[in-house]
Every structure is written in structure tokens, then in C-alpha cells.
Homo-oligomer: A and B are copies of this chain.
Amino acid sequence: MAGALEAAGSGTTCLLFGPIDELRSAVGDSIPDRIELVDAATEITNSDEPARAVRAKPGASIVMAAQAVAGGRADALVSAGPTGAALAASLLQIKRIPGVYRPAIAAQLPVPGRRLLLLDVGANVEVRPEQMVQFAYMGSSFCEAVLGVERPEVGLLSVGAEQGKGTEDTVAVYDQLQAGSLNFLGNVEGNDLLAGKADVVVTDGFTGNVALKTIEGTLATLIGEIRARITSGTFSKLGGLLIRGRMRSLQGDLDPDAIGGAFLLGLRSPVVICHGASSHRAITSAIAMAARGVSEEIVAKTTDALTRAGVTRGDRDPSAVSVPAVSVEPR
């Protein structure tokens, strides 16, 4: 809520969806400028099966918010609810860009001196090569339009640098990206992720989810161990005080809160997904990122990039475009 108020304060109109009493008591007596409250009595929780729940609960906040975007009342969607529900509601209401097989969740990782876009980090646990190829174009377009990186360097996550390394599918993706128009670096490995080798790294949602959580877990374990060891001795405790400022600035730089959320790419409007435990700062960043997606016309640019590259669903199989398909594997 505080995040939305701050975003509204800096010029973005926010429609907030939820039980109206809760929204009113959070906002206070007078509703600020550029804030609209919309009553949505129910919600979809983590224990609901997303694809079923978004159909069964038309009055859920995420469904109503997605509907507002689909109907043109809002330009972008920001959700801090369950990822699966946001994905399912977006697929159902906002829909995919024509020719896109599947949306992908693109997470931004704070790499020293750079920012890394890793996708897919969990929208799709099973991914075909032609889908991963689309992810590469979608990620590159986003990186260029929203993050302002010119000709982003795109890598493919695999188990060796050489062209032939990886699964049959990753090798097929390599070949297609190599022949395409992106600034393709070739394969990158797990140890390259935080080393800042690429702007965009493409993988399937299973591997991407494992890699993302492995980075988060490794950082948390290491920082916890450092803290425990420093505070367990007198000299080192004093040393810890002397380095505290630097360590805090490092933690700030690595803090996912500064980024705010993950972008859901491949839909007809910008969608940003935040952690359920997101701070006010994270929500503010997420709203700013969604607004930037709108002003930089990320959807039009992505559509254009996919079409120019000839990697849309219609390019491969012209008869397939008219078949609607909604299937959801939640994160």
C-alpha cells in the first residue's frame, strides 16, 4: 500500500484491488490523488490451483485487476500475490502477444557493475526449443527498451562453453540463436551468471528457477556465516564495526528489493510480479518498472522483434495461431 501511495505521489495513477474495508483502513480517511480503490472481495491463495481458481473466482483481486488491464482501464498489472495466479489471470484476461507460445518470467539479478536478466525463472518447467528462442528475443527487447541497454549481449545457459555442449534442446536453441539477429554470445555456465558476462541469459523455467534460488540461497548462507563469525570474537567484532558501512552498501547493491519484481514477458500489456513479502520499496520499484514498460512500449517492441526475427508461432505453423491455448505451470 505504502508503495502504491509513493508511486501515486510521483505521478503514476494506481488502481488498488482488494476488500474495500481493508483498502480504506490502509489508505486512511481521505483518498490521495491518483489512487483508486476497487472492491474485490475474494483472493486466490497459494493453496488454490491457479488455472482453475482464476476461472472459478471472477471476483478475486488478481482476476479483477487483470480484467481492468484487458479492458483498457489500466495500462499494466503489478501483483504481489501468488505467481501462479498472476500468470493464470494474465493469460486468461490480458492474453499473449499473437504468435507467442508461452510467457516467461524474467528476473533481474543485481550483478556487480551490471544487471542480468535471467529468463525463464519458473513460468514453464518444460520448454521446447522454439519457445526458448522466443524467450531470447523477448528478453533482449525488454533489456533494450526498459533497461536501456543497446544491443544486449544474450547468453544461453548450458554446461559448457562450446557449441555442442548441453541437452539436445539447448543445442538446437544455440543453433537457432547463432543464425538469428540477436547479439548472441553463445553458451554461458552457472559461474558466469553473477560474473556479469551477459545482459540476458536464456534457459528453461526449471533450470532458471533452480539457478535463481541457488544464487539467493548462496548469498544468504555466505552473508549469514560471515556475520556469525565476525560477531563471535572481540577483535573481529570491532573489525565488523569498521567494515559495516561497506558491507551495508554491498548488501544494498545486491538487494532484490531495489529491483522490485520480475517481469512477465510475452503478454499484451506489461505485468510485474513481486514477492509476497515485498517491502514498500520493492512495490514502488515494481510500479515504476511497469510504468516504464508502458512508456517505452515494451509490448509493441517485443511484437516487432519477434515478427522481424521470424520466430512467431505463425512463422513456424501458420495454422496454429488461431488455436487458443491456456495452460499454466505455476512457479
Contact = CB atoms under 8 A, between A and B. Distances in A.
Interface of A: 111-112, 122, 125-126, 157-160, 166-168, 170, 189-195, 203, 205-207, 209-223, 225-226, 229-230, 232-233, 235-236, 238-247, 249-250, 254, 331
A220 B197 CA distance: 14
B166 A125 contact: yes
A243 B103 CA distance: 47
21 contacts: A125-B167, A126-B167, A159-B206, A189-B209, A189-B210, A189-B217, A190-B212, A190-B217, A191-B214, A193-B217, A195-B217, A207-B210, A210-B210, A211-B211, A222-B222, A230-B246, A232-B246, A235-B243, A236-B242, A240-B242, A243-B243
Given A191-B217, A192-B217, 14 more contacts: A112-B221, A190-B209, A190-B212, A194-B218, A211-B211, A211-B214, A218-B222, A225-B250, A235-B242, A236-B245, A239-B239, A239-B240, A240-B243, A243-B243
Nearest to A157: B210
Contacts of A219: 218, 222
B212 A230 contact: no
Contact of A206 (B126, B207, B215, B222): B207
B246 A236 contact: yes
Contacts of A230: 243, 246
Nearest to A210: B190
A237 to B, nearest CB: 8
Contacts of A190: 209-217
Contacts of A242: 235-236, 238-240, 242
Tallying the copies of this chain within the complex gives 2
B249 A243 contact: no
Residue with the greatest number of chain B CB neighbours at <10 A, chosen from A170, A215, A243: A243
Contact of A229 (B207, B222, B250): B250
A250 B236 contact: no
Contacts of A246: 229-230, 232-233, 236
Contact of A249 (B126, B229, B245): B229
A210 to B, nearest CB: 4
A158 to B, nearest CB: 8
Contacts of A229: 243, 246-247, 249-250
Contacts of A170: 206
A327 to B, nearest CB: 13
A254 to B, nearest CB: 8
Contacts of A189: 209-210, 213, 217
B159 A125 contact: yes
